[in-house]
Amino acid sequence: MKTCLVLGASGNVGRILVPLLATNYKVIAISRAPNPFKSVSNVDYIQHDTRTFDFESFIDIKFDTVYFLIQSPNFRQFPADNKILFDINVKFLFSCVDWAQSHKVRHFCYFSSGGIYQPQLDPIFPSVSNIGLFETDFYQTTKLIGEEILTNYSCLFKQMTIFRPFFIYGPHQRKDMLVPRLIEQIKHFKPITVAGKEGITINPINAYDAAMAAIKSIEIGSGLHRFNLAGTQKLSLVSLCQIIAEKLDVKLNIEHQLDRQDNKNYIADISELIESLYTPTVDISSGIDELICNGTGN
């Protein structure tokens, strides 16, 4: 049985990825949180701050795939936590990929960010020409640096996959992220402020679909692969709020800032993902049901 290493295993995607992986692979999972996989077979869990983890402790273990899912919870706190962001997204990523290539890991899979793109009217295709950073967005800068590091290392692996996620949501997500935050606000009748009539348009992806795409990437073939990771449904911020309000059976309180006619969107073009890897299956209505049933936003 082949072995996979999952870094950031207790997060939104990792909590779903690890049990799915463990049906066909031996999984070593590392995260700072207490072990959420005690009842899952084929999983060895290490509770540790990944920033200080010593990969050389893995003696005589041959890894087929390494998943780098680590995300700092303080990504919005610039400049207060810029050192933590840099340590995780650049320094530790470099240490990890350098160790992985020296120990003949076959496949390295990295979760970057769809935020490295500039918002635009048309669907965003996964190419370099669409990338554009905001001056103060240090988090996205570190993600882009991480991608550049991996691009240079990709020739040392049989396979490398870089995912650029767009608004992943799921039952294990932190409450300060977009969808759980909207659920919380709508449940307590707090106003939702949107630019213009409908607000930004997005195509969010459920964490289950993100995990399935990560699993499918194992066998995609040799070389460097980049994919936008988003859902098949496009909806405005107002439409998303209306779905949530209907599920909660509450009245929606929207405040329109009509002086902000912002027509730029974060719609990811996922044609390459669908053609080469995986088609997302979880519709937004079912995904919202799951979040509400699991208490997200409570």
Check pLDDT > 90 for residue 7: yes
Say what percent of the chain tops pLDDT 90: 71
Residue 298, domain member (yes or no): no
Classify residue 26: in a domain, yes or no: yes
Note whether residue 209 is domain-resident.
yes
The count of structural domains within the chain is 1
| Single pTM value for the model | 0.93
Kindly state whether residue 252 falls inside one of the protein's structural domains.
no
258 belongs to a structural domain: no
Q: How far apart are CA 54 and CA 56, in angstroms?
A: 5
pLDDT digits 0-9 by tens, 91-150: 999 999 999 999 999 999 999 999 888 777 777 777 555 565 555 588 888 999 999 999
Indicate which CATH number applies to the domain containing 123: 3.40.50.720
Rounded to an integer, what distance in angstroms lies between the CA atom of residue 125 and that of residue 118?
Answer: 11
Q: Where are the alpha helices (DSSP H) in the chain?
A: 14-21, 82-86, 93-102, 138-153, 178-187, 207-216, 237-248, 271-276, 284-293
Write the pLDDT tens digit of every residue in 12-27.
Answer: 999 999 999 999 999 9
Q: Which element (helix H / strand E) includes 6?
A: strand 3-7
Could you read off the pLDDT of 235-248 as tens digits, one per residue? Answer: 999 999 999 999 99
Helix (H, G, I), strand (E, B) or coil at 243: helix
Q: Report yes or no on 150 lying in a domain.
A: yes
Give the mean pLDDT of the chain.
90
pLDDT score of 295 more than 60: yes
Across 45-49, 59-63, 65-69, the highest mean pLDDT is recorded for 65-69
- Would you say residue 297 has pLDDT above 60? no
Give the pLDDT of residue 79. 75
23-37, 38-52, 98-112 — which is least confidently predicted?
Answer: 38-52
Q: Is residue 192 part of a domain?
A: no
The pLDDT assigned to 262 comes to 59
When mean pLDDT is compared across 125-134, 175-184, 251-260, the lowest value belongs to: 125-134
Range of the domain at 154: 3-172+205-231+266-281
In a domain, 222, yes or no: yes
